Amino acid sequence: MKPASPAAPAEPRINKNGEPRSRAIGAETEASIIKVATEEFAMHGYESVSMRTIAARVEITPPSIYLYFQDKRALYVACCLSSISALCSQMVAHFQSGKPPAKRLELFLCSLMEELLHNPDPARLFMRALIERDDDILARVEHEVVHELFVLIKDAIGEISGKTKSAESAASLLGLTMGLVQFSKFLESAGYPLSFNRNPKALAKHIMNTIVHDS
């Protein structure tokens, strides 16, 4: 388990010449650092990524990163929380549509799978945290990001099939979704055609039938 990291410092107030830094420029640079670092960490893992590589891609000097983040660990935590939070915020919106619970779940599943197929970085970072037992990140993700979404999924399943074991069904739904999105790519490349390969609607229907209607 990695040690807890301090929160990322606030946007720097001065530039390297000691002059006031434009907030707009500072925010843009910080966003660029997080975007590039997220891609690097998701693809290569925490240990294999250097601050020098990130800085080169952002086209800044390595010390400039430390104006925004105390250290590599603080940047990594910010990337994990930012990418997973952005994904979950999109997903929460599907449960606020006023549609019947089955339709809300189906829209959520389709959207989640489309996002994961288009941008797998949030899932990769989350899976790395699970595999590496990064309890600091996992606790913050659950408390700050995932809790609301999980409750919405659980409640929708409870509306469809009753309250019995709706939490277990919600956990199974998320686990199956994450797993099938990743595993179906392997099966596809290995020559095993599946009806839902790269087809979010078909995969959503499969998961709904497997988890929700059998719960």
Q: Give the model confidence (pLDDT) of 35-45 as tens digits.
A: 999 999 999 99
Q: In this predicted model, which residue has the larger pLDDT, 61 or 3?
A: 61
pLDDT digit string, tens, across residues 141-194: 999 889 999 999 999 999 988 766 789 999 999 998 888 887 877 777 787 777
Q: Which of 72, 67, 64, 68 has the alpha carbon at shortest distance from 45?
A: 72
pLDDT of residue 22: 53
pLDDT digit string, tens, across residues 63-96: 999 999 999 999 999 999 999 999 999 899 888 8
CATH class of 79-212: mainly alpha
Residue 62 pLDDT level (bands cut at 50, 70, 90): very high
**Cα 203–chain centre separation:** 20
| Mean pLDDT, range 41-57, rounded to an integer | 95
pTM over 0.85: no
Domain ranges of the chain: 79-212
* Distance of alpha carbon 108 from alpha carbon 115, whole angstroms: 11
Mean pLDDT, the chain, integer: 85
Q: Where does residue 131 rank: exposed (0-12), middle (13-18), buried (19+ CB within 10 A)? A: exposed
Residue 69 backbone zone (phi > 0: left; psi -120 to 50: alpha; other: beta): beta
